[in-house]
Chain A
């Protein structure tokens, strides 16, 4: 099973600041990684698919990149609605797995 390790577990930032979230895979997943945002009581929402492609309707302040087994999600300038939990997910092999999540909270 491919393990995804997200860091940090919690990120405390203020609106307008830049957020950088990391996800490391235990083995190569190529570019087959997605990022999701989840708010309390809601289903996850797809932000990024295949490592760097923004999903439909996702604002340009969300961007992502990758190198080897290291993946990064960047929110260029946090808006109030961006404070949430973020998960990465690999689709390289079954079982599809998620990282443990990074909570972006208001400082």
Chain B
């Protein structure tokens, strides 16, 4: 079964850092762009960051630009999100998501992880 499994969430103080991981299985990870999408409690969905299949080109929402870094290790089939200078408003469930097509980055998402909760609070 095609699967994504996130880890690394937790409680962190404002200004702190956290690194999320997303382990992929049962598909050719290095063929697909990957995204991080977050959902604040009781709110809608927000695309936070994306990375091309080869890892060389990345995209960020304005809300996280300069603070978050997306990366991937295709040999380990793992996606990462390094979150620095965290703010209260970054509190959300963070999902990793696989794009539908193996070409391009801007796409719908056919596979989602179960999500990992990040809480930023003092």
Spell out A's residues near B (CB within 8 Å).
32, 34, 36, 43-46, 49-50, 55-56, 87, 89, 91-101
Query: In the complex, what distance in Å separates the CA atom of A94 from the CA atom of B100?
Result: 16
Q: Are A49 and B108 in contact (CB under 8 A)?
A: yes
Smallest beta-carbon distance A97→chain B, Å = 7
Smallest beta-carbon distance A98→chain B, Å = 4
Q: Kindly list chain A residues whose C-beta atoms are within 8 Å of the C-beta of B109.
A: 34, 36, 44, 46, 89
> Known contacts A55-B110, A91-B107: does B115 contact A96 (CB below 8 Å)?
no
Q: Identify B50's interface contact among A56, A94, A100, CB under 8 A.
A: A94
Q: Identify A91's interface contact among B46, B59, B108, B113, CB under 8 A.
A: B108
Q: Kindly list chain A residues whose C-beta atoms are within 8 Å of the C-beta of B45.
A: 36, 44, 87, 89, 98
Q: Kindly list chain B residues whose C-beta atoms are within 8 Å of the C-beta of A92.
A: 106
Query: In the complex, what distance in Å separates the CA atom of A75 from the CA atom of B1?
Result: 27
